[in-house]
Chains A and B, each alone.
Chain A
Amino acid sequence: MIHNSDMTLEVQGLSVSIHTRKGTTKPVNDVSLRIPKGKIIGIVGESGCGKSMTARACMGLLKPPVKIESGRILLAGRDLVGLPESDMCAVRGSEISMIFQEPMTGLNPVMKVGRQVDEAVRVHRHIPASKARQETIRMFEAVGIPEPEARYNSYPHELSGGLRQRVMIAMAMICRPALLIADEPTTALDVTVEAQILRLMKELNKAGTSILLISHNLGVIAQVCDYVYVMYAGQILEEAEVCALFDSPLHPYTRGLLESVNSLRREEPVLETIAGSVPDFLHLPQGCSFSPRCGQCLERCASGEPPLFEPEPGHKVRCHLYDKDTSRI
Chain B
Amino acid sequence: MRQSFLRRLAESVVILIGVALLIFIMLRVVPGNPIEIMMGEHANQSTVDRMTAELGLDKPIYVQFFRYITGALRGDFGTSYSLGKPVSSLMRSAFGNTLKLSVSAAVFAWVIGILCGVLSAVRAGGPADHIFMGFSLMGVSMPVFMTAMVLQFFFGYYLHWLPISGSGSWRNFILPAIALGWNSAGAISRLTRSTLLDVLQEDYIETARAKGLTETTVVLFHALRNTMLPVVTMMAIQFSGMLSGAVITETVFSINGIGRLSVLAISGRDIPLLQGTVLFSTAVVILGNLISDSLYSVLDPRIRREA
Query: In the complex the two chains form, is B210's CB within 8 Å of A108's CB?
Result: no
Of the stretches A85-93, A235-243, A274-282, the one at the interface is A85-93
User: Which of A97-127 touch B at CB < 8 Å?
Assistant: 97-98, 100, 102, 105-111, 116, 119-120, 123-124
B300 within 8 A of A: yes
Most buried by A among B204, B222, B299: B204
Residue from A89, A98, A105 within 8 A of B204 (CB atoms): A105
Query: In the complex the two chains form, is B301's CB within 8 Å of A155's CB?
Result: yes
Given contacts A102-B203, A155-B302, A158-B305, contact A108 B212 (CB under 8 A): no
Q: Which residue of B lies closest to A117 (CB)?
A: B211
Q: Which residue of A lies closest to B306 (CB)?
A: A157
A123 to B216, CA, bound (A): 13
A122 to B208, CA, bound (A): 13
A247 to B225, CA, bound (A): 52
**Taking the nearest CB of chain B, how far is it from the CB of A97, in angstroms?**
7
A221 within 8 A of B: no
B226 within 8 A of A: yes
A105 to B301, CA, bound (A): 15
Q: Which residue of B lies closest to A107 (CB)?
A: B204
B141 within 8 A of A: no
Query: In the complex the two chains form, is A110's CB within 8 Å of B299's CB?
Result: yes
Query: In the complex the two chains form, is B212's CB within 8 Å of A90's CB?
Result: yes
Q: Which residue of B lies closest to A158 (CB)?
A: B305
Query: In the complex the two chains form, is A97's CB within 8 Å of B210's CB?
Result: yes
Query: In the complex the two chains form, is B300's CB within 8 Å of A110's CB?
Result: yes
A90 to B211, CA, bound (A): 9
A45 to B171, CA, bound (A): 68
A197 within 8 A of B: no
B46 within 8 A of A: no
A61 within 8 A of B: yes
A168 within 8 A of B: yes
Residue from A102, A120, A168 within 8 A of B212 (CB atoms): A120
Query: In the complex the two chains form, is B214's CB within 8 Å of A98's CB?
Result: no
Please report the total number of A residues contacting B with Cβ < 8 Å: 32
B207 within 8 A of A: yes
Q: How many A-B contacts at CB < 8 Å in the complex? A: 76
Residues of B within 8 A of A92 (CB): 209-212
0/1 string, B283-307, CB within 8 A of A gives 1: 0000000000000000111100100
Residue from B204, B209, B222 within 8 A of A61 (CB atoms): B209
Residues of B within 8 A of A93 (CB): 210-213
Given contacts A89-B213, A123-B213, contact A108 B301 (CB under 8 A): no
**Taking the nearest CB of chain A, how far is it from the CB of B150, in angstroms?**
39
B202 within 8 A of A: yes
Query: In the complex the two chains form, is B210's CB within 8 Å of A109's CB?
Result: no
Query: In the complex the two chains form, is B211's CB within 8 Å of A106's CB?
Result: no
B206 within 8 A of A: yes
Given contacts A108-B226, A110-B225, A157-B302, contact A124 B212 (CB under 8 A): yes
A254 within 8 A of B: no
Given contacts A155-B301, A157-B301, contact A107 B207 (CB under 8 A): yes
User: Which of B188-227 touch A at CB < 8 Å?
Assistant: 202-204, 206-215, 217, 222, 225-226
A178 within 8 A of B: no
A92 to B214, CA, bound (A): 10
A233 within 8 A of B: no
Residues of A within 8 A of B206 (CB): 61, 100, 106
Query: In the complex the two chains form, is B211's CB within 8 Å of A171's CB?
Result: yes
A59 within 8 A of B: yes
A124 to B217, CA, bound (A): 13
Q: Which residue of A lies closest to B300 (CB)?
A: A110
**Taking the nearest CB of chain B, how far is it from the CB of A101, in angstroms?**
8
Residue from B203, B207, B302 within 8 A of A171 (CB atoms): B207
Query: In the complex the two chains form, is A168's CB within 8 Å of B207's CB?
Result: yes
Residues of B within 8 A of A172 (CB): 210
Query: In the complex the two chains form, is A109's CB within 8 Å of B301's CB?
Result: yes
User: Which of A167-184 touch B at CB < 8 Å?
Assistant: 168, 171-172
Query: In the complex the two chains form, is B211's CB within 8 Å of A119's CB?
Result: yes
Residue from B203, B215, B217, B300 within 8 A of A105 (CB atoms): B203
Residues of A within 8 A of B225 (CB): 110-111
Q: Which residue of A lies closest to B225 (CB)?
A: A110
Residue from A90, A105, A111 within 8 A of B202 (CB atoms): A105
0/1 string, B166-178, CB within 8 A of A gives 1: 0000000000000
A171 to B209, CA, bound (A): 12
0/1 string, A142-157, CB within 8 A of B gives 1: 0000000000000101
A313 to B211, CA, bound (A): 38
Residues of B within 8 A of A108 (CB): 204, 207-208, 222, 226
Residues of B within 8 A of A109 (CB): 204, 226, 300-302
Query: In the complex the two chains form, is B212's CB within 8 Å of A89's CB?
Result: yes
Most buried by A among B211, B215, B226, B300: B211
**Taking the nearest CB of chain A, how far is it from the CB of B232, in angstroms?**
12
**Taking the nearest CB of chain B, how far is it from the CB of A190, in angstroms?**
20
A123 to B213, CA, bound (A): 7
A186 within 8 A of B: no
**Taking the nearest CB of chain A, how far is it from the CB of B275, in angstroms?**
43
Interface residues of B (CB under 8 A from A): 202-204, 206-215, 217, 222, 225-226, 299-302, 305
Give the 3 A-B residue pairs with the shortest CB-CB distance, closest first. A93-B212, A92-B212, A93-B211
Interface residues of A (CB under 8 A from B): 59, 61, 85-86, 89-94, 97-98, 100, 102, 105-111, 116, 119-120, 123-124, 155, 157-158, 168, 171-172
